[in-house]
Amino acid sequence: MKLTPIKLSLLAACLTANLYQASAQNTDGLNAFSEASYRKYVSEVASDKLQGRLPFSKGETATLSYLEQQFKALGLEPGNKGSYLQPVPMVSINTNPDPQMKVTGANASFDLEGLKDYVLWTRRTDARIDIKNEDLVFAGFGISAPEFNHDDYAGLDVKDKIVVVLVNDPGYYDAKQFKGKTMTYYGRWTYKYDEAAKHGAKGCLIIHDTAPAAYGFSVVANSWKASKLYLDPRGHESYKCAFEGWLTMPAAEKLFATIGTDYKTMLAKALAPGFKGSAMGLNITTGLSTTCKYNQSHNVVAKITGTRHADECIVYSAHWDHFGISKPDAKGDSIYNGAIDNASGTAGLLELAKVFKSLKTKPERTIVFLSVTAEEQGLWGSAYYAENPVFPKDKTVADINMDMFYPYGKTKDISVVGYGQSELEDYLAEAAKTQGRHIEPEAVPSKGMYFRSDHFNFAKVGIPALYIETGTDLVGKGKEAGLQMHDNYNSTVYHKPNDEYDAATWDVSGTIQDLQLVYLVGKKLAYSAEWPKWKAGSEFKAVRENYLKK
């Protein structure tokens, strides 16, 4: 029988599939995982020696040195043009808003008080920004989402005006819209500011509502800092709103009452089909002063070059940074060690590098191990990498992100943050079966956690990204105990000095199992020609398809 090119192609595909199936059944690498080596890594990354791992500090220098030494010792190659480091130019913008915002209308004039009624900051580096009698425009949810046939900006002129928008997305209020209670990227506050700027708005104010925001206004006020970090915009400036901010619900109700309506009525209008935004007939006057300081932090990049498809890569990511040294707590501890957040993920990155390097059959695709900076300050290290990748986005198969492994033992489940986004979760489900486990959606999808860690910057440029969270169904203890474990950490340890490594109380057996799962997902991709896809309804699907089809 003569083999035509098509038949040869089909035969090659079958052979590749069979070879992969044989590889998938091979346990090569699984036995290389070690609780002892993982504990060594996490204890070092969370140690006082690294001084809380704050960018631009001695703690950063010590952290970078440690990670570079470990990747070298494991035999990994430098991942960035002969270096393990990728410089990340940044700017610290210290914003000093005026203490009041004056509101004027046809029938009223009043002042709103800073921090009490609103919070403002800016991403611009101008020394002084003045807002004088600028028009307020109500723009619904501030969303332009073609896949949901929703555009709050359709026919609305907001250029050089201040847009007032609602928090979250329509699905939170109406299960038939968007993805119901599962927040989409369109509900994220960062998206709303970027979209307002895209339409030329001078400023954007989000109305705070505790339930759909998933946190009280005190969280917004307490997290406001006069100084915020951003990527250095010099040389590639893009338009940004003169200011971004939040309004309290009482402040918003005062605005609406002035024009003869209320929040409930405006929410209903924004949810109605065919909603059209409109000018509010109100103006505001306020201002901001800024001082800027430029500096440079670093991502750490190491790799194992693929044997057959070296130009294609799978990225494992985790952020190395935390909050450094601050005011002492009640016990006198002032070092924010960030053991779970995120020494645990950084240690996982080193453990995975060790395992992949131990493989008898080397990966066919390149494996990149990326430890990024400034996650705690706004996901800036991963944002910079996504804009300046070592491997271009059309050659990056997937990102697998690790942010906080809870050290409380084995679980029957594994949580997928952003469940329903990509085929990577199907690969994870397949791997979980080998451990007698199953995947579960995150407990509270309305919080939008998929948009709050470093994988998100890969998703934004279309690269399928997987983000797992420790499961809640603890072996021998049950789901209630697991949920309590999560709650206890979030309420008493998260972002506090007592997030420390404790050899006596940490049970990392579950962490090792979770690392084995993400290893199997990456290994499947490393020995195949598969390109995981975004699922129907994902807001990132069109982004990927647009450049892959070119």
Q: Mind giving me the DSSP string for 489-547?
A: HHHHTTTSTT----TTT-B-HHHHHHHHHHHHHHHHHHTS-----BPTT-TTHHHHHHH
Confidence of residue 209 (pLDDT cuts 50, 70, 90): very high
DSSP category for residue 355 = H
Residue 264, pLDDT score = 98
User: In this model, does residue 464 exceed pLDDT 70?
Assistant: yes
Q: Nearest Cα to 38, choosing from 283, 349, 332?
A: 349
Mean pLDDT for 151-161 is 97
Confidence of residue 326 (pLDDT cuts 50, 70, 90): confident
Confidence of residue 279 (pLDDT cuts 50, 70, 90): very high
| Residue that the structure tokens 């006057």 belong to | 285
User: In this model, does residue 10 exceed pLDDT 60?
Assistant: no
Mean pLDDT for 374-384 is 96
Q: Nearest Cα to 297, choosing from 30, 85, 533, 469?
A: 85
Average pLDDT of every residue of the chain: 93
The number of beta carbons lying within 10 Å of the beta carbon of residue 228 is 16
Residue 228, pLDDT score = 86
Mean pLDDT for 124-132 is 96
Structure tokens that stand for 11 in this block? 């035969």
What is residue 477's three-state secondary structure? coil
Q: Nearest Cα to 166, choosing from 143, 184, 194?
A: 143
**Cis ω before 490 (30° cut-off from 0):** no
Q: DSSP E strands: which ranges in 186-254?
A: 203-207, 227-231, 243-247
Residue 13, pLDDT score = 40
Mean pLDDT for 120-125 is 95
User: In this model, does residue 24 exceed pLDDT 60?
Assistant: no
User: In this model, does residue 207 exceed pLDDT 90?
Assistant: yes
Mean pLDDT for 277-297 is 97
Strand partners, 229: 92
Strands 203-207 and 243-247: parallel
Confidence of residue 502 (pLDDT cuts 50, 70, 90): very high
What is this structure's pTM? 0.89
Confidence of residue 12 (pLDDT cuts 50, 70, 90): very low
| Residue that the structure tokens 């999808």 belong to | 445
Residue 522, pLDDT score = 98
User: In this model, does residue 14 exceed pLDDT 70?
Assistant: no
What is residue 30's three-state secondary structure? helix
Confidence of residue 550 (pLDDT cuts 50, 70, 90): low
Mean pLDDT for 497-523 is 97
Report d(CA 452, CA 406) in Å as an integer. Answer: 18
Report d(CA 256, CA 322) in Å as an integer. Answer: 41
Mean pLDDT for 342-350 is 98
Cα 323–chain centre separation: 17
Structure tokens that stand for 31 in this block? 């036995």
DSSP category for residue 115 = T
User: In this model, does residue 427 exceed pLDDT 80?
Assistant: yes
Confidence of residue 267 (pLDDT cuts 50, 70, 90): very high
